[in-house]
A = this chain, B = another copy of it.
Amino acid sequence: MFKVNENYLKLPGSYLFSTIGKKVNAYSAAHPDKKIIRLGIGDVTQPLAPAIIDALHSAVEEMGKAETFHGYAPDLGYEFLRNAIAENDYKARGCDIAADEIFISDGAKCDSGNIQEIFSLDNKIAVCDPVYPVYVDSNVMAGRTGTYDAQKETWSDVIYMPCIADHDFAPQLPEETPDLIYLCFPNNPTGAAITKAQLQEWVDYANRVGAVILYDAAYEAYISEADVPHSIYECDGARSCAIELRSFSKNAGFTGVRLGFTVVPKDLKCGDVMLHSLWARRHGTKYNGAPYIVQKAGEAVYSKEGREQLKEQVAYYMKNAHYIYSGLKEAGYTVSGGVNAPYIWLKTPDHMTSWEFFDYLLENVNVVGTPGSGFGPSGEGYFRLTAFGSYENTVEAVDRIKAAKL
């Protein structure tokens, strides 16, 4: 008789954003007249930039003719895209990353869920608290975590690194030594960033203790301050300890287009074994490449027109971020983030729990955000708003919150 993967049964409740979706749908069904504004999930709202639309149409044309039709893509992605990434995201920033160290995928969520597979089940992970749920849940599913403490909302075999206001929401080096360290900067959900000097400390630490840093840089396009690194490979020694995950979802609005990539430097080894070979083997066996038309759209992100248009798109969202940040501050809220990231992290008023504040906003001003506690115990008492709405909706949502004067 077959049996299921028991680790799945350990997972408490459903994925955070599914729960939010259900609550919002229930409210919406009961109050069909209310205009709900969603500043919750990190989904973009601006249409694809013209340069990307042109590239998509042109690639679709190619697929309609036998001479230019494209079947299975190369396992690791088309060279035209890998070259554009190596050139623009790495060489241009002084990072020593070659095109053949870049693996194209259908997004950073998949990669950040799958990357743990190439490591031993004995390895101990360290995560920020609060944290993007996929890092932890994918390790739970694999059986790399112990038992769940429902009261503390933590797993027994996971090292949590609290990111609290006293340290500007940056994690501190953990006391217990981890094998795998998940870092995400600019951070989801807090919107916090760290300087190159701070990140260098993590790289030095990882090299010292023999840990691998899984560095999620999905929000690098939102960095506005000069001393904040765009890639972990700006730090010395990162090639021997860091894997970097990148997304086109937030810099180019590809949430519904699906494209991302992961960098595994060939210097990253366990004894003689290159992690690059293992990830290549996983790609070759369990993945079949991103669509040709989508990879062509990715190439257009790096064209002159594409870059100009996307700079404007990022600026549009950051104008939202600024409006949320300053509006809530005026209204007396304690607010952070929003400078190098499209996320605003606010303290809930009057000692409300995160979910109490979620319900309060949904019911009283019809604004949807994300409860900080959904990202981990240190997120309790906090709340995430995103800058990915339309400017009009963002202004209306903030003005409603201000008017409610909790």
Q: Which chain A residues have a beta carbon within 8 Å of chain B's beta carbons?
A: 1-6, 8-9, 11, 14-15, 18, 41, 43-48, 50, 53, 56-57, 60-61, 63-66, 69-73, 75, 106-107, 109-110, 113-114, 117-123, 133-134, 137-138, 141, 143, 179-180, 209-212, 253, 255-258, 270, 273, 275, 278, 281-282, 284-294, 390
Q: Which B residues are in CB contact (< 8 Å) with A3?
A: 119-120, 122-123, 179, 270
Q: How far is the CA of A119 from the CA of B7 in the complex (A)?
A: 10
Q: A109-B286, A119-B5 are in contact. Are A46 and B69 (CB under 8 A)?
A: yes
Q: Which single residue of chain B is at the shortest CB-CB distance from A289? A: B258
Known: A56-B60, A212-B2. Contact between A286 and B134, CB under 8 A? yes
Partner of A15, one of B45, B209, B285: B285
From A11, A210, A255, residue with most partner B Cβ within 10 Å: A255
Bound together, the chains give a CA A290 to CA B1 distance in angstroms of 33
Identify A63's interface contact among B15, B56, B290, CB under 8 A: B56
Q: A5-B120, A8-B118, A121-B143 are in contact. List 7 more A-B contacts (CB 8 A).
A: A3-B123, A5-B278, A44-B71, A45-B71, A53-B61, A56-B293, A71-B256
A114 to B61 alpha-carbon distance, docked (Å)? 32
Copies of the protein in its oligomer? 2
User: Are B119 and A2 interface neighbours, CB within 8 A?
Assistant: yes
Which residue of B is nearest A181, CB measured? B2
A63 to chain B, nearest CB (A): 5
Query: Which of the residues B48, B65, B119, B291 comes within 8 Å of A257, measured between beta carbons?
Result: B291
Nearest CB of B to A120, in Å: 4
Residues of the B chain whose Cβ atoms lie less than 8 Å from the Cβ of A6? 120
Residues of chain B with a CB closer than 8 A to A289's CB: 256, 258
